[in-house]
Structure 1
């Protein structure tokens, strides 16, 4: 999964995210609770949000393994923006749709959380 390969200059405006019917952006208290959490995706990758603002994405073995390191922040529109140690960065939006949490990229790719 090419989850963290593209360079993004900043977060999209709230109305610019490719939301689908039923998508609800996570509330501020849910975003604040990212600290210290990890999210596993169906392809085996995992995002870890450190309590100190550190970020790590570990690719599954089938996607080459390895970890991309960086820092994260919550943008005003509720997106989660990561600045990677290699100088690249991107913003993604977490939404809830029914009982499922889904990560949406600015390109509109959707990655459900396990």
Structure 2
């Protein structure tokens, strides 16, 4: 594994370097099991926070609560499965994290 990168401290230039070195796959890059090497890092979307656990964003809909981040890919163990997903979702936990004052259950019929 290469140098440890902070979760949110990745510039576009650093992403390009990681992609060019083969340590990070581009969005929608093909992945062939057994042929494509497992990269050291992956792109992800996350609601990030400070050291105390407080969200590090302002108003969610203005500042964009979710951020694209680069995270390490762990080497799978003997009883692990490594998934390559090209999907994203927004669930109750995501909605709660970016708008903690909204009770989504109150909107159900």
- The interval holding the TM-score normalised by the smaller chain is under 0.3
- Give the TM-score normalised by structure 1: 0.22
Where is the helix percentage greater, Structure 1 or Structure 2? Answer: 2
Q: Which has the higher contact order (CA 8 A, sep 6+)?
A: 1
**Higher share in strand:** 1
Q: Which has the larger radius of gyration?
A: 2
